[in-house]
Amino acid sequence: MKKNILWKIFLIIGVVPFIIPFIFSFTRMSTWTLLDWLIMYSFIYWPTYIVGMILIIISIYKIIKLKNKKS
């Protein structure tokens, strides 16, 4: 059970890089449009998207594997 919780936490951590630009966009709306902000943020922090995607893929794979192992 603890391994399943650990992989769910990794899944949440993997989703965070995709949510952060939208959260920060509220503070940047006075100087940037949403699209401009997302493009600039993505251009600078693109490695976080790669790490997030890898965490998402691995954690989903492990969660499914643990579910199938229990059944």
Q: pLDDT digit string (tens) for 6-65? A: 999 999 999 999 999 999 988 888 888 899 999 999 999 999 999 999 999 999 999 999
d(CA 43, CA 28): 16
What pTM, to 2 d.p., does this model score? 0.86
8 Å CB contact between 59 and 10:
yes
Q: Which residues touch 13 (CB under 8 Å, ≥6 apart)?
A: 52, 55
- HEC letters along the chain: CHHHHHHHHHHHHHHHHHHHHHHHHHHHCCCCCHHHHHHHHHHHCHHHHHHHHHHHHHHHHHHHHHHHHHC
